Every structure is written in C-alpha cells, then in structure tokens.
Chain A
Amino acid sequence: MAEPRAGFWQRLQQIPRYYVYLLMAAVVIWQILFPIPLPIAPSSATQGVYDAISAVPDDKLILISTDWDASTNAETGPQTEAIVHACLQNDKRFAIMNLHPPMGVKLANDIAEQVAEQYGAEYGVDWCNWGYKYGFANVLIAMAKNIPKTIGDDFYGTPVAELSMMQGVEDIESIGLVIEITGLATITETWIGLIQGVYGTPFASAYTAVMAPGYYPFLDSGQMQGMLVGAKGAAEMEALVTRPAKASVIMNVQSWAHVLIILLIVIGNLGFVLARGPRGQGAP
C-alpha cells in the first residue's frame, strides 16, 4: 500500500538540502552583483584594536603575527589588510611574522606589499617581514631576549639586523604592540603566557568567527586591548580606516544570508509546530 502523501507543513520540514544550498548561493550571488548596502558600526572590541595601534609610541614596532592560511583567507585576509591600513595611516612601523601555518607569511606579505604601495611605504624602512619561524614557544622565549639573533634572516633572506627600521630593535621592549591574526587555537595562549603576561607587552587579536567566542574572557580581563571577530571585525576595521573593501562586501552579503537562514529556521519550526496539530497529533 502506498505511503500517505506528507502534508504541506510536514513537507516544510523536509526541504531537500540541495534547495537550501541553491537558495544560499542565489542570495550570495544576488548580493554580490546587486548589493543593498547596510550600515556597519564598529564595536568596542574593534575600536580597541584601532586605539591600541594608534597608541603605540613612535620608537616602537608593531608586530603582526599572521598565523593563518588559505583556508581562512576570506576572514583573516581582510583582517590583515585592514590592520596594515590602520598601521600605515597612523605612521606606525610594523613587522610581519609567522609561527604557523607557514602559508600565512606569504599571503600576508602580498597584502602588505599592495597596501604599502598605496601609502608609498618602503620595505625595510616602514615595514618588514620576519618570515616563518618554526618553534612556537621557543621562538617567543628567545625573541623576548634578542630579536635580531632569534629571527636571523627576513622573508627574503636578508639578515633583519641590516634593515634600517630594525636599528635599535633589540628585545621585546622594542615592541609596542603584538597583533595576532589567526584561525588556530592555542597560539594566543602562547603569546599571552610567554610575552603579554610576563613582559606586559600590549596584545590585540583578530580571529576567525568560529574561535572568537572562546577568547572573550581575555578581552574582559584586559589581557587583550581589542579583538576583530571574523569578517565582521574586518568590516568594522575597514570602516574605521575608511577603506571599505572585501570584508564590507562580505558582511553585507552575510547579513542577507543570515536573513535567509532565519527564514528557513522559522519555516522549519512553523512546519514542525503546525504539523503536530492542536493536541500534538501528527507529530513525526
């Protein structure tokens, strides 16, 4: 005997996942091609990163640890770009380095080169790239005592001690702010446990949205000056540096994608409640 045909409300709970994917793709493409802009208001966490950058004394460097790779590029790439803009707009010298994964140092280098060109900033004078340094905690412990000896050569193979911006840079006291950009857990704990918590070096961060909730206690306790949360944080930073770019587009599209998700959740739950009937008959 044939199965009785599912009612309308039951079918609402069983929308094939392909339709959900297609709907999502359609909304994303629609908003990329014909955007309906929504306002972006910087949060206090994002403002904290910007303020920490602008408060760095002129005789100190900002160290940007770009510990991300291609898999999180959509979030961490725009974060890196917006942070580099903030550094150069505030006339702060910065160095890029990478603990893991190594792909981040190349991707961040490309971003820094492009942004530096817009400001006429020169490699070795206004910014430099210390390269990928393997060893996590060992690198940080050694770097705190002697930066040129620990880092050795930069990304291009030049000894960092020969770069003009590195003259006078000796140990962790020469660093005015560490900014950690990552999609990996535990690297922050290494920075805070070995550098911020020991030497009091100001620390700020930029995380993928997945991992950010776990790091709010660090923000609340004052261990972090600020935090960029995913593409949202990057878009907010783009608003602060008045350079709306990729993340602003992502967040606009994202808002409409979230509207779709909320609608689908409401429809699914409505179907669930109404399919049960007034006394719960017809519940699956």
Chain B
Amino acid sequence: MNPEIAILWGGAIATLGVYTILYRENPVSRLFEHIFVGLSAGYLIVFIWTQNLEGRWWKPMIHEGRWYWVFAPVVGLLFYFIYSRRLLWLARLVMGLFFGIAAGYFFRTFFPIYSPQIYACFKPLRADPQIGWSDVVLHNWLFVIILFTVLSYFFFSVSHEGRFGRTLGRSALLGRWFLMIAFGAMFGNTVMARISLFIGRVQFLLSDWIGSFIPWFAGRGV
C-alpha cells in the first residue's frame, strides 16, 4: 500500500475517532486521545536527542574529547534524591539553583516586558495638529476611562460607603462592565479559534481524504 494513502486513512480514522466524543465519552475517542499523547511524547524524546543532545552533548563528549560533559547529566539526576529522606539535601541543592535562575530571569525580563506598556498608558488627552479630536475622544479618553474604572474594580481597601466610597463603587461597577465586555471579546475569539480547527479538519476530510478516491472533492476548500 502506498504510504501516503495509509497516512491519509490513518489521519481520517483518527480525526473521526476523536470527534466521536461529541456523541459522548467513549473508548474509541479515548484510544485516539492516548495515541496522540503517546505520539507527541515519543516525538519529543526523539527530537530532544536528534536536534539537541546528540549534537551539543554526545558528539563533543565522545568524538571531540570533552569528556567532562559526562558530569552534566549527574547534576540533573540529583533531582531524583527527592525520594530519599537521608540525601534529600542533594535535590534541594539543584532545586535552589533553579529557583535562583528563575528569580533572576523574572527580575531581568519584568521591566522590558511591562514598562513600555505602562508608558503607553500615558496618552495625550488634548488634540494637537498630529492627533485629531476624534482620535483623542474615541481612543485616548476611552482608554483612560476604562483604565481607571477597571483599576478601581481591583481596589478593595475602601468600603463602598460614604461619598468617596459610593463614587468608587460606581466606578468599580463600570469597570466590571468593561471587564465583561473584554471577556466577551476573548470568548468570541475562543469560539473563532475552535471553529477554525474544526474547519481545518473538515477541509482535510473532504479535500485530502475523500478527494483521494472521489476526485471531485480533491482541491475543494484549499
């Protein structure tokens, strides 16, 4: 059998098998789910070896005389001392190292990631020759109002009583509405993404799979 035909049929059967979940939870869907997870895990192991360890660790150690690379996995294996009460401190050594790296990484990346976004919150609220009134009102004022009302929603230290508290409460309510609109937009994008994936699979089933034995379907939807 032509391997390409076998791959097409395998893909089609797997797609239909996974979609049987739409009827209800069943062993066929589970089977293909497990196959997918197993394939991904196997693929990851092979790629870590062929694209990384083989070239950057194994070859230098075996063929280029860098024998000291043999100690690299030893450091990694220290993690397994988490199962020994007596030698747990060895695992803690390597964990401490990783905590330190993670903390340093977070500290280093925090400002480059977030400071430009904080600067971008300072927007001109008066029109000038470069920015027309419509832009200022539609974009900048709206942005600043949403920014303050949403921030006030997350300001929990003042009870919503008294004149200031009630004003804060109204602002927080408005902020909650803006958040709901944002969540609605996010959910709309989620629906779009899920339907895109479904359309992609139907394209495959119609054009590639059915198209392989009924030529009229081939090329449709591509």
Residues of A within 8 A of B (CB): 18, 21, 24-25, 28-29, 32-33, 69, 71-75, 77, 101-103, 105, 131-135, 137, 152-153, 155, 157, 189-190, 192-194, 196-198, 208-210, 212-214, 217-218, 220-223, 229-232, 245-246, 249-250, 253-254, 257-258, 261
Contacts and interface: CB of A to CB of B under 8 A. Distances in A.
B23 A102 contact: no
Interface residues of B, number: 47
B193 A217 contact: no
B220 A232 contact: no
Given A193-B108, A250-B199, A250-B203, A213 B182 contact: yes
Contacts of A198: 112
B112 A209 contact: no
B47 interface: yes
A284 B139 CA distance: 42
B182 A74 contact: no
A223 B193 CA distance: 24
B60 to A, nearest CB: 10
Contacts of A192: 109, 112-113
Given A157-B55, A193-B110, A28 B190 contact: no
A227 B23 CA distance: 37
The dominant DSSP class at the B interface is: helix
Interface of B: 22-23, 40, 43-44, 47-48, 50-52, 55-56, 105, 108-113, 116-117, 119-120, 182, 185-186, 189-203, 206-207, 217, 220-222
Contacts of B52: 132-135
A257 to B, nearest CB: 5
Contacts of A258: 192, 195
B47 A217 contact: no
Contact of A213 (B47, B189, B194): B189
Contact of A197 (B109, B194, B195, B217): B109
Contact of B195 (A33, A246, A249, A257): A257
The 3 nearest A-B residue pairs measured at CB:
A197-B112, A74-B200, A193-B109
B200 to A, nearest CB: 2
A131 B190 CA distance: 30
Given A24-B198, A32-B221, 20 more contacts: A28-B198, A33-B206, A74-B197, A74-B199, A101-B40, A102-B47, A105-B51, A133-B51, A137-B109, A152-B56, A193-B108, A208-B193, A210-B193, A217-B117, A221-B119, A231-B196, A250-B200, A250-B203, A257-B199, A258-B195
